[in-house]
A and B are shown apart, each in its own frame.
Chain A
Amino acid sequence: MSERPVPPRQLWWLAAGFAVWCSALVALYAIHGIGCAFAWSTGSLRLWLAAALLAHLTVLGWMWYDAARAGADPGFGPTGAFLRWAVIGTLITAFVATAITFGPPLLLATCV
């Protein structure tokens, strides 16, 4: 095996996409809870929720773009290629999951 070992810290990237999904869930659930508890207006609360969702989608989109643009480092051999494929796979999945899970609900009544 002549290739360089993939640095173990790169394994964290396998969790990065869905960590952002988790962050979106926590942020949206918290904003919604606070907004309803303090009786924010519907428009204001919806705006905050949409902004939080958009911010998370932007981060995920950027991570996806960056991972796809960087390309596989041939020095890392098949292990590097496998991990890159898996990382991009989790990023795409997390992006789609974020959009589907948190997008449509924002159209519902806010605090009923």
Chain B
Amino acid sequence: MSEPVDQLSQGTPALRLHRQLSAIWATGPGLQRLAAVNHSVIGMRMMITSFVFFAIAGVLGMLTRVQLATPNSAFMVPETYNQVFTMHGSMMLFLFAIPMVESFAVYLTPKILGTRDFAFPRLTAYGYWCYLFGGTILTVALIAGVAPDSGWFMYTPLSSNVFTPGMNSDVWLLGVTFVEISALSLAMEIVVSILKMRAPGMSLDRMPIFAWYILVTAMMMIVAFPPLILGSILLEVERAFGLPFFDPTRGGDALLWQHLFWLFGHPDVYIIFLPMAGVLSTIIPVFANRPLVGYRAIVVAIIALAFLSFGIWVHHMFTVGIPHLALAFFSAGSAIVAVPTAVQIFAWLATLAHGRPRWDVPMLYVFGFFFIFVMGGLTGVMLAMVPFDWQAHDTYFVVAHMHYVVAGALAFPMLAAFYYWLPLLTGRTAVHRLSVPAFWLVFIGFNMTFFMMHLTGLRGMPRRIYTYSGFEGWNWLNLLSSIGGFVMTIGFALVVIDLFVQLRYGRRVRRNPWGATTLEWAMTIPPAPYAFASIPDLGTTRADSIAPGDLALSLARGEGYLGSTRNGWQETLGVHKTSGLPDQLIVLPSPTYLPLYTALVTAAAVLCMLFKFYLLSLAFALLTAGLFVFAGQSAGLARDFGPLPVGRGVSVPPHTEAADPPALLALICTLVADGTLFTSLLFGTFYLWISAPNWTAVVVPEPSRMLTVGAVAALGVAAAAARGSLRAATAGGRAGGWIGLAVLALLAAIAAAVGQIAGVVPDPRVHALGATAAALIGYVVLHAGIGLLFLISNSLRLGAGFISPRRVLDLRLTRLWLDYTLVTGVIAMGLVLATPVLVTVMGVRP
């Protein structure tokens, strides 16, 4: 069953192999660039795009500093100032910080792992376009004067219809959610790729520490983003259709938004920090000339940090009236989260202390990071103490702390990373005459700007005021802060000039100028679209202890795995998750415009929602789903191949026939994200039950038992039929009948659930009890609907020959989806059925 190989790897000239691979992997010229799916191209685009947003957000930050430089300033009116500071924060967090760390991950991870690309290149491209279009919507709104103006965390009720009746809040809710689609899709991509697409021999204990950081960060994103996505959906539904989730007068609670926002918001700080810590853990050993101290302890520390960061969101809400005992849980958690952070800092210091450190530009920024981050960490521990937080809450002290931990912990390692990895792209290193002054300007400017804010905060200056009278004792501190802001901006401008100068006039260097020992340096400079001409076999060597120079030549000659081309396929290797042994040949899709078209249609759905063309928005949303089904039609291979040779005497099946294909893990990641969103919805329901001031409804709900049981039974039949289709296909039988039965069952479930929504009492627009019941049932309807899309796709692919007894991945995915739909359906419908009991219980409380 093996396919003939075009050319044996032995004796293949490196140049010829390069040409063959380039013809297969390269992105076309001109407009064909819009069809790019390659991780290097997309990673670079994301990096440049996020820098553009950084520049815009930086200018907005400067405008706020101009306004606050002197008292009674008339530079901006309050309405404009509100938009400016809201957009500064929103852009920095959602359009710069998160995409920037993701762009690093997209560009570098496959190279550091010794593979050729990510698992789902079309998803990478779709994620990028969603990010670009979502960011553009926000930017255009700013130019049009209708930008969000309720602060970057959009607290209700300020952001609700009553107090923000225009489209400003909608822009934020829809634009940011659109961008989050990108973040989530890339996070899933990263998890799957790290676990399934490493160089053979790279077992988990030999994986570079950078990959551990990125893996944990991506997993955090999968769990952190859904609560905010849910919050944004609920608030948009409240604003658009009047369902009062956050309206205390109708059974909602404004604090629910804060919980959902900070369930995302606090882990987000670590989502930004951890990849940068990964950068530091990669750079410091190189410049210390010794391996990283405490590899295993750092792995444990980042796992601990990831979890602890999810359990301390309430420290942003210390002043909302939560009882002391509960506050103490979050206060203690906020303090001990410093311990795993300190483990990493001491590991870096120990690495430097036990090595022979040498100075260069990246190390200047590492030094800057240490200073800034330790300062921010210490003020973090101060703010974790409830009595201090009560004094400093909503003052400039918090603004200062936040900039030290988020801006400092991101900006300094990021610039260190730029200076470290730019030679990989350009073959040149920095011009010191510019780099060193640029660093000092950024460092001095940063501290001058934000250190002063600690002092203004301690002197009582509240955040977000647009001016002050001049008698408060803040004048000179604000002026210094504003001057510092300009110094920092000049520093950043010099950095940009330096990077451009480096591109043209930088000192030429040989491959691997820093003497690094990781795989990204074992490739051509600049990296070719296929990354590695052949995939390295690490044997028993650690992936952070290799000699890139020798390996690069050997790989270029095709002496690793897949050192030849076959059928014009974009091939790479899939490995066992823990051992890194090759277990499948992954054939990746070629460049296509489909991600661009799908993102454009998604953008149309978002824009129609923004301008209140709801039916049109629904139509575009359905078209987006249709395009996903269409994209799936060409995925995989249309016939069985059996084990195929991949070089070095190894043969493995293609991913379509493998037991553990990447798509299966991707769906599991999707369901984890989806499950988090569902859990957040359950949390919201119970939170309103226990906390909302006017939750006890006037009308006691009476959900229909028949419709509930009918919907759940139909979901059960659909899940059973999906299993039947899988069994039939595996046995070589006909699966079509089972798929048809599953379709009918899902239609019945949708009909019963829609009937249940129509009869929800109290009316969802009148009271939060009805609104939460409608949201829970709506969740079931949505998932049953997506299940239908799975089944339609199965049916089409069955007819086109993409499913055989060996290739049953489609049916496995459908089974998993329908199992999940059944489980969540039982919980959601059961909870709706239990609402009369909840109302009764609440009615009898003292």
Contacts and interface: CB of A to CB of B under 8 A. Distances in A.
A6 B578 contact: yes
A91 B278 CA distance: 23
Identify whether the interface residues of A are mostly helix, strand, loop, or mixed. Answer: helix
Interface residues of A, number: 47
A85 B329 contact: no
A10 to B, nearest CB: 7
Given A18-B304, A86-B296, A100-B336, A108 B311 contact: no
Interface residues of B, number: 39
Contacts of A86: 296, 299-300, 303
Given A6-B579, A25-B311, A101 B204 contact: no
A58 B577 CA distance: 31
A97 to B, nearest CB: 6
B324 interface: yes
A1 B296 contact: no
B581 interface: yes
Contacts of B579: 1, 5-6, 79
A112 B336 contact: no
Contacts of B203: 78-79
Nearest to B660: A8
B323 interface: yes
Contacts of A11: 204, 577-578
B324 to A, nearest CB: 5
A21 B307 contact: yes
A1 B579 CA distance: 10
Contacts of A28: 329
Contact of B329 (A38, A105, A111): A105
Nearest to B205: A82
Contacts of A18: 303-304, 306-308
A5 B328 contact: no
Contacts of B332: 100-102, 104-105
B845 A83 contact: no
B325 A93 contact: no
Interface in A18-55: 18-19, 21-22, 25, 28-30, 32-34, 36-39
A59 interface: no
Given A18-B303, A37-B690, A82-B296, A108 B324 contact: yes
B765 interface: no
A24 B331 CA distance: 15
B706 interface: no
B297 interface: yes
B300 A90 contact: yes
| Of A89, A104, A110, most B-chain CB atoms within 10 Å | A89
Contacts of B303: 14-15, 18, 86, 90
Contacts of A5: 576, 578-579, 581
Of the listed residues B205, B310, B686, the one surrounded by the most CB atoms of chain A closer than 10 A to its CB is B205
Interface of B is mostly: helix
B333 interface: yes
A109 interface: yes
B690 A33 contact: yes
B691 interface: yes
B326 interface: yes
A17 B846 CA distance: 38
Interface string A46-84: 000000000000000000000000000000001101110
Contacts of B195: 8
B540 interface: yes
Given A36-B323, A97-B336, A108 B576 contact: no
Contacts of A19: 307
Given A8-B576, A102-B329, A112 B540 contact: no
- Determine which residue in A5, A39, A100, A109 has the highest number of CB atoms from chain B within 10 A of its CB, and name it: A5
Contacts of B308: 18, 21, 97
A15 B215 CA distance: 13
A39 B846 contact: yes
A78 B580 CA distance: 13
A112 B329 contact: no
B296 A106 contact: no
A104 B577 CA distance: 40
B324 A109 contact: yes
User: B333, B579, B581: which has the most chain A beta carbons within 10 Å?
Assistant: B579
B311 A105 contact: no
A48 to B, nearest CB: 12
Given A5-B579, A18-B307, A89 B296 contact: yes
B581 A1 contact: yes
Nearest to B583: A5
Contacts of A79: 203-205, 578-579
Interface in B192-207: 195, 201, 203-205
Contacts of A105: 325-326, 328-329, 331-332
A92 to B, nearest CB: 9
Contact of A93 (B205, B300, B328): B300
Contact of A82 (B204, B307, B333, B690): B204
Nearest to B343: A93
B300 A89 contact: yes
B690 A97 contact: no
Interface in B313-343: 323-326, 328-329, 331-333, 336, 340
A1 B540 contact: yes
Nearest to B686: A30
Given A14-B303, A37-B845, A101 B329 contact: yes
A100 B686 CA distance: 27
Nearest to B212: A86
Given A18-B306, A86-B299, 12 more contacts: A5-B576, A5-B578, A6-B578, A7-B578, A8-B660, A25-B329, A82-B204, A82-B296, A89-B300, A101-B329, A105-B326, A105-B329
15 contacts: A18-B303, A22-B310, A25-B311, A25-B333, A39-B845, A82-B204, A82-B296, A86-B299, A89-B297, A90-B300, A93-B304, A101-B329, A101-B332, A109-B324, A111-B323
Interface of A: 1, 5-8, 10-11, 14-15, 18-19, 21-22, 25, 28-30, 32-34, 36-39, 78-79, 81-83, 85-86, 89-90, 93-94, 97, 100-102, 104-106, 108-112
Closest 10 A-B residue pairs measured CB to CB?
A105-B328, A18-B307, A82-B205, A5-B579, A89-B300, A8-B577, A6-B578, A79-B203, A39-B846, A101-B332
